[in-house]
Structure formats: C-alpha cells, structure tokens
C-alpha cells in the first residue's frame, strides 16, 4: 500500500495540473460569488459557510473520474490487482493519495477563499478543520464511486450523481460547523458528527471500492 | 506419479454476449512452457486473463498443486507475472522509477532487471520518450524482478526487434531452469525450446 501511495504522490508532483485545477476552481468560485450576490460583507459572511463547503466538495470531485480510469487504460490496474495487495488496500492507498493531493491543498487554500467571502477571522480555523474532514470523507466516497463507475461509458457523468447524494450530510454538518463558529457558537458537535462519518467511511468505502475493482 | 502443478479443467469464458472459448483443458509442470496460438479473436488474451484471475471463468476450474487457484485471488496474483497488451508504464516516471515501483511490490533489483533487457543506458529517461519497442522491453523487465512461478505473457514480442527477442532467451531459460512455468500467447516464434502448443 505504501509504495502505491508514494507513487501517487510522485505522479501528482510531476503533473501538478490536477491539483492546481481543483484549487483554482475552489478559489475562483469564492472570488465570483461576491459579484453575484453583491459586495455587502454581512450578506457574504452569511452565505460563506455554505459556499465554502459546496465549492470544496465540487472541487475535490474534479480529479475523481481519472482515479482508476487512468490506471485501467494503461494496464496498471491489472498489475496492481496481481501485485498481491488486496483490492481494498489498493482503494485505501488511492483514497489517501487523493486526499493528500486534492483535499489538503483545498484546506491550505481555505483562508484565501474564506477571506474573499469575508468570513469572520474567528471562524477560519473551524472552516479548515471542517473542510479537512469533509474532503477526507469525499475522497473515500469518491474512491468507491470511481471504482463502481470504472468501465461504464460516461462514468464521469455517473460519478457525481452517485457520490454527491452520499455527501449531503457532510455538506450539512460542515457548513453548520463553520456557521456556528462564525456566529460565536460551539462548532465542536458538528465537527464530531463529521468525524463520526469519517470513522464510518474509513473502513467501509475501501471495502466497497475493492469489491467493485474485482468485479470489473 | 507426481501431480502436475497447474491444471486447467474445462475452462470456458463468456464475454460481451458471446462464448469466447469453451472446454479448454491443459496441465503444465515446473519448467514447462505452453504456447497459445490461434487466429485473432480466438480468445488467447481472454484465456490469459482468466488464468490470472482478472476475468471470471464461466465454468471450469484452475488447480494449483491440486487446490483451487481462484479461491484467494490476491495470493494467486502474487505468484504470477502477467504481461498484457498494455505496458502499464507511467509516462511521467523514468524507466528506473517505473520499475522501482514494481520492485517494491515484488522484490528484485532494478538495475539488474534493466541490464537484462538492455535498458541500463535509458534508466533515467522518462518512459514518455521511449520508443514502443523500448517500452515493451521495460514492461518485460518486470519479469526479471523477484521470482514468480508462473509467467503469463500476452504477445511478449510485439514491437521487439530480432536482437531483443533473442535477449529474452536467457531470461526464459533461467526461469524454466529454476522450475518456473511460462504460458505465452503469440503469433511470432519465441525462444522457448520444447514448448508445447495449445491451439484455441
């Protein structure tokens, strides 16, 4: 698993375009919003939690349809399945690499996006934690989705339809945590609920993805 | 009488709404080589994928030392090397890095494997700039990493020049001398002396 994870990181470093595309998408959505809803700081701060959570989830979704697609096209997936690694282990390494190469850069870009949406400074830390948890859950769900849609024609269309409904609780509690923090309430319960969802997805999503990889 | 190591019994494969092959049976022992021949679409590649456990067999079974080989697919995968049509190389990584990834999974020495296929001078080049014959040799270099009893090769010599095909001979000989087995689908002669032929 670790060699696969390291190879993914190395490939992402050689081809940073995917990572940059996700971060750009995230920051650009945050930059465009004030033009749409008007520059009033109160209004922006009001919509900021929802916009941040939605933009981050959609940005993390961008590189997912190539997650296994590229491996299947060049024959690497066959080699991985025959390498003695369990399919669930392959999926777990892929999900971890997706989070490090997509989720983590989004967390780093969160202060910039939050500032563009004039989110109160006090809520910045919560926003980063909420998006870190949320993107980790999405990486796991997305890996299962990518494995299931592998080999389907137009898998890229099917994937968001499959993954986003499952990500709605993440969206609700992630945005609620940021909202609570920006209005001076405790964000902890919401973050704990997000962490609970992560704890659930952590073992289940790789198992589901692994089963889908074998069935292909 | 010693039981043969690998025994395929009446394997059949169903793909894309049609029966690709049916009632394929053979047995091979350590040191054996089996050539799969047949016209395009006869099911050579499908049979290799079935034997690797990448494609489920419609019926029949594969016995490895008398035990069902498909019972634990991960363990089955670890005791074979599969070379498909695609070379499974990452264009952004150098030849040595591509091989080093598999060396970490299978064991073995990267430079020795590159040397065996005459690629030592190209080790630091990204796989993207290699010619198709060089890419094929790099994919074949995976065979020279760590030992695995069974090699499944899908047209290994495609794109190779005569000298490169000759270079495979010591690789095959050493593998078979150590008790390894080779099953290769091919249209071209391969340096596999005393190989049996299975016509699909």
Residue of B77, B91, B145 for testing the chain A interface, max A β-carbons within 10 Å: B77
The pLDDT value recorded for residue A107 is: 97
Q: Is B86 on the interface with A (CB under 8 A)?
A: yes
The pLDDT value recorded for residue A165 is: 93
Contacts of A11 in chain B (CB under 8 A): 90, 92-93
Q: Is B82 on the interface with A (CB under 8 A)?
A: yes
DSSP A101: I
Which helix H or strand E contains B191, and what residues bound it?
none
Nearest to A160 by CA among A28, A58, A86: A58
Question: What ipTM is given for this predicted complex?
Answer: 0.91
The pLDDT value recorded for residue A155 is: 76
Contact in structure between B93 and A11 (CB atoms under 8 Å): yes
> Which residues of chain A have a Cβ shorter than 8 Å from any chain B Cβ?
3-4, 7, 10-11, 14-15, 73-76, 78-79, 81-87, 214
User: Which of A103-107, A121-125, A192-196, B17-21 has the weakest average pLDDT?
Assistant: B17-21
With a CB cutoff of 8 Å and minimum separation 6, the contacts of A131 are A52, A53, A56, A103, A106, A107, A110, A174
Which helix H or strand E contains B197, and what residues bound it?
strand B196-199
Summarize pLDDT for A70-108 with one digit per residue, the tens. Answer: 999 999 999 999 998 999 999 999 999 999 999 999 999
Please tell us whether the domain made up of B6-199 is placed in CATH 3.90.600.10: no
**Whether the predicted pLDDT of A216 surpasses 60:** no
Q: At what angle do helices B95-106 and B132-141 cross, to 10 degrees?
A: 20
Q: Is B153 on the interface with A (CB under 8 A)?
A: no
Q: Is B89 on the interface with A (CB under 8 A)?
A: yes
Which of B77, B86, B92 is the closest to A84 by Cβ? B77
Contacts of B52 in chain A (CB under 8 A): 78, 82
Length, in residues, of chain A: 216
Tokens of A197: 């969802």
Would the pTM count as exceeding 0.90? yes
Confidence of residue A117 (pLDDT cuts 50, 70, 90): very high
Domain boundaries, chain B: 6-199
DSSP B88: -
Phi/psi at A149 (5° precision): -90, 0
Mean pLDDT of A188-201: 97
Phi/psi at B150 (5° precision): -120, 130
How far is it, in rounded angstroms, from Cα B168 to Cα B165?
5
Which of B73, B84, B89 is the closest to A78 by Cβ? B84
Beta-bridge partner residues of B67: B64
Distance of CA B184 to the CA centre of its chain: 6
The answer to whether the CB atoms of B77 and A82 lie below 8 A apart is yes
The pLDDT value recorded for residue A144 is: 96
Distance of CA A170 to the CA centre of its chain: 10
The pLDDT value recorded for residue B4 is: 59
Inter-chain contacts counted by CB atoms under 8 A, chains A and B: 65
Could you list the pLDDT tens digit for every one of the 200 residues in chain B? Answer: 344 588 998 898 888 788 888 889 999 999 999 999 999 888 899 999 999 999 888 899 999 988 898 988 888 998 999 999 999 999 999 999 999 999 999 888 999 999 999 999 999 999 999 999 999 999 999 999 988 999 999 999 998 999 999 989 999 999 999 999 999 999 888 999 988 999 88
Residue of B15, B50, B71, B90 for testing the chain A interface, max A β-carbons within 10 Å: B90
């Amino acid at each position: 698993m670790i060699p696969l994870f390291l190879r993914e990181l190395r490939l992402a470093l050689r081809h940073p375009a995917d990572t940059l595309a996700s971060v750009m998408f995230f920051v650009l959505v945050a930059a465009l919003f004030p033009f749409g809803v008007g520059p009033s700081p109160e209004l922006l701060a009001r919509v900021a939690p929802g916009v941040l959570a939605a933009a981050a989830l959609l940005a993390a979704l961008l590189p997912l349809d190539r997650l296994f697609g590229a491996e299947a096209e060049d024959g690497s997936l066959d080699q991985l399945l025959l390498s003695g690694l369990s399919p669930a282990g392959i999926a777990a390494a892929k999900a971890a690499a997706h989070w490090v190469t997509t989720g983590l850069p989004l967390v780093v870009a969160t202060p910039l996006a939050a500032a563009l949406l004039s989110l109160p400074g006090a809520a910045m830390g919560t926003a980063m934690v909420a998006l870190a948890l949320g993107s980790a859950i999405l990486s796991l769900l997305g890996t299962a989705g990518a494995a299931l849609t592998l080999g389907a024609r137009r898998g890229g269309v099917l994937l968001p339809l499959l993954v986003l409904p499952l990500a709605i609780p993440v969206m609700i509690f992630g945005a609620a945590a940021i909202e609570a923090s920006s209005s001076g309430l405790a964000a902890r319960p919401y973050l704990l609920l997000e962490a609970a969802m992560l704890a659930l997805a952590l073992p289940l999503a790789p198992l589901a993805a692994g089963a889908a990889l074998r069935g292909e | 009488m010693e039981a043969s190591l690998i025994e395929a019994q009446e394997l059949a494969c169903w793909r894309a709404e049609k029966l690709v092959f049916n009632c394929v049976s053979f047995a091979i022992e350590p040191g054996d080589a089996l050539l799969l021949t047949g016209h395009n679409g006869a099911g050579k590649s499908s049979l290799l994928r079935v034997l690797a456990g990448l494609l489920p067999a419609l019926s029949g079974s594969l016995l490895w030392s008398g035990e069902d080989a498909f019972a634990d697919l991960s363990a089955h995968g670890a005791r074979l090397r599969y070379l498909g049509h695609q070379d499974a190389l990452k264009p952004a990584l150098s030849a040595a890095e591509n091989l080093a990834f598999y060396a970490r999974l299978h064991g073995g020495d990267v430079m020795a494997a590159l040397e065996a296929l005459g690629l030592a001078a190209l080790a630091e080049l990204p796989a993207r700039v290699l010619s198709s014959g060089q890419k094929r040799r790099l994919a074949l270099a995976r065979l020279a990493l760590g030992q695995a009893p069974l090699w499944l090769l899908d047209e290994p010599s495609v794109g190779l020049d005569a000298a490169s095909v000759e270079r495979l001979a010591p690789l095959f000989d050493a593998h078979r001398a150590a008790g390894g087995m080779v099953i290769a689908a091919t249209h071209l002669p391969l340096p596999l002396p005393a190989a049996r032929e299975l016509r699909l």
